[in-house]
Structure formats: C-alpha cells, structure tokens
Amino acid sequence: MAETGGDKKHAPTEHRRQKAREQGQVARSQDLGSALVLLISVLLLGWSGPPLVEAISDIMRACFLQDYYWHLNSRSASGLFVGALTTLLYRLLPIMVGVIGIVLANNWFQIGFLFLPDKLNLDFKRINPVSGVKKLFDLPNFARLGFGLLKIALVTTVIIFGLWDRWGMIIGSGGLPAGKIGGVVWDTTLDLCMRAAVVLLLLAILDYGFQWWKTEQDLKMTDEEVREEQKMMNGDPQVAGRRRQMQRELAMGRLGSTVPEADVVVTNPTHLALALKFDPDTMPAPMLLAKGEDHLAARIRKLALENDVPVVERKPLARALYDIVEVGDYIPVDQYAAVAEVLRYVYQLKGKEIPSLDGRKAA
C-alpha cells in the first residue's frame, strides 16, 4: 500500500482492507503451518505407526522368507510389488490425508481463499542481488533471524530435557532384544518430536499474533488517506454538489406538471409537503404524486397555491407518509383513515361528493 505522510491514527476501512488483500498484504505466519503439520504428523504416527511397522515387517517376510522368492519371475515380482505398494499406501493414507487437511485448514484460517495471479509473473526486482544484499540488513530480517535462533534454542533445550528424562531407559535398553530396543527408540523419538512440536506451535501462535498486529498497524490510515478515500468513494464534493443541484432542478421541473393535478397538499407545515390525488373511478386508493422537504416543500406549496390546490396541515400524517410512501405509490391501508379525513375536508370545501375508502385495498 502507498504510504502517505502523517500519523496513522485511523482504523483501516473495509475498502483499504480489500485493496491490501488484493495485493497479498494479509496477516500470515508460515511457522504456524509448519508447526501444525509437525504436530499432526507426530500424532498420526503415534496412532498409525505400529500398524505401519507391522505392514513393513509383513512385506519383508514376504520378500525374504517365502519359498517363491527363490523362483522369482517377472509376473510374481510384479504381483509382489503391487501388493507391497498397496499395503504401504493404505497404511500411509491417514497420515497423508491428515497433513493435507491441516495445510488446507491452516491456510483457510489465516487468509481464506486468495488467488493472486500477478504474484506468478516474473519480477526481476525479486532476484536482484543488490536488493537481496540490502534486505539482509533490514530490521525485519534481523528480527526474523533472532526469532529463528530463539526457536532453535528452545527446541534444543526441550530435546535435551526430554533425553534427560529418558536417559535411564535409554541406557538400560542395551541388554534388551532388538524388537524391544526398536520400541524404546520409537517411543523416545515420538516423545521428543511431540515436545518440539508443542513448543514450535506456541511460538507460531505468538508469531501469528505479531504478524496480525503488524498488518493492522501497516493498514492504519492518516487523515489525508481518509480524505482521499472518501473522495474516491463518494466522488469530488463539487461534482456531487452539482449532481444534487441537477437532481433538484429535475424534481422541480416535474413538480410543475404533477402538483396541479393533486386534490390536496399535506404539509408539516414548513419542512414537508406531499401532493395527493384520488379518483375513485380509476384508483384503488389515493396516490402520492409528489413529495419534498425544505425548499422542495416550499416549491410544492407555492405551486399548490398558484393552482388552487388546497393545502392542509397534518404533521403526523405528513411525516408518516413521507417516510413510508414513494412517489407514484398508493397510500397504505393503515393510513386510510387519516387520508380520508383530509379528503373529506377538501371535498367539503369544494362542494363535491365525498368518496369512500371503505373496503378498498392498495394495489
């Protein structure tokens, strides 16, 4: 993301986050995926290791102890190879599925689905040896080097303590049969790997937290960036003002043809004005011909007076109709009573027969 001078004190907007995501700027820890793969692999080996060792033993017995080994031909060799490969794949399948699953889950948790084809393009700046040498002395690289040394030190310490705890067992296994020695080596290796995996996972979680915090700090915005984004999203204020002015002029032009056709204008009395019309022969309910507030309301009242359209002040009715009815729509049923009262008053002023709204439903 482009940097702009000033203090970054504003939280990043959704637009800025999306822009950064499209450029690959997301919080992600590579160590978290590696630690999870190691931990899941150790757990799966602890569960499927004995059956795997037994399968390998069966394959070796089939290869070296069966009578047909001494009469081996191409057909029997192919059958032996296929059988051994099938058995190994069957035993290794849980481990492979578990590792692939944890890799996909880790990437989905950290960054979700993110496809960046631009990152696949060849960029010679990335392989520039001068830039590479400069990056070696960057502060982030020094921090990454220090974190790597810390991981090595902690893992080494954990392994040393793990060996120390099992030292008596290891020394005492010298007189055991070969199978028992293999069991001791297997258990010791799994225990040490599990300890190392847990330590690496804890460090990876800390690294992910740091990467998330650093990404949030990098995405924060200055006052100038906030203004530029608002201008980009909402357009130039001057252009927006001219657009609103043109919309007002168009609305006023339409008022000149619609307000004179109204039966009554309901007002707030000064802020809102709504022009209503009702023809019982052609309309299922009264219709809103025009509405406006402030200067548009003043324009509607002026046109009503110029065209002998009665203007009636009804504050609650004007507010209710202005909020829920759009121009060209019929009045909703729950407002029939209030509108009927106004129309009755207007028809009495004009000496017309008062129409009934009973039983009518808005279309």
pLDDT tens, position by position, 25-37: 677 777 888 888 8
172 vs 165: CA distance, rounded Å:
13
274 vs 301: CA distance, rounded Å:
9
Q: Which residues contact 128 (CB under 8 A, 6 or more apart)?
A: none
pLDDT given for residue 3 in this prediction = 46
Strand partners, 273: 267, 292
Beta pairing, strands 272-277 & 287-293 = antiparallel
b/e 168-203 (16+ beta carbons within 10 angstroms → b): eeeeebeeeeeeeeeeeeeebeebbbbbbbebbbeb
356 vs 343: CA distance, rounded Å:
10
Pull the structure tokens for residue 55: 């399968």
The pTM score is 0.48
pLDDT given for residue 303 in this prediction = 87
Please name which of 55, 73, 76, 57 lies closest in space to residue 65, comparing C-alpha atoms.
Answer: 57
Pull the structure tokens for residue 247: 């919309």
Please name which of 88, 106, 86 lies closest in space to residue 98, comparing C-alpha atoms.
Answer: 106
Query: Across the 363 residues of the chain, what is the mean pLDDT of every consecutive 10-residue run?
Result: 59 74 71 83 80 75 63 69 80 82 78 59 58 60 77 88 81 70 77 87 86 81 75 60 54 73 87 88 86 84 87 89 87 87 84 60 38
pLDDT given for residue 210 in this prediction = 83
CATH architecture entry for 246-350: 3-Layer(aba) Sandwich (3.40)
300 vs 288: CA distance, rounded Å:
13
pLDDT given for residue 125 in this prediction = 58
* Domain edges within the chain: 27-114+123-217, 246-350
pLDDT given for residue 1 in this prediction = 47
pLDDT given for residue 363 in this prediction = 36
53 vs 51: CA distance, rounded Å:
6
192 vs 160: CA distance, rounded Å:
9
Q: Which residue, chain included where needed, has tokens 């009262």?
A: 341
pLDDT given for residue 214 in this prediction = 82
Dihedral pair phi/psi, residue 291, rounded to 5°? -150, 155
Please name which of 296, 308, 327, 220 lies closest in space to residue 261, comparing C-alpha atoms.
Answer: 308
pLDDT given for residue 65 in this prediction = 63
Q: Give, as one character, the DSSP assignment of residue 330.
A: B
Q: Helices marked H in the chain — which ranges? A: 14-22, 30-64, 74-111, 129-136, 139-165, 167-172, 178-219, 223-234, 237-258, 295-306, 315-324, 336-350
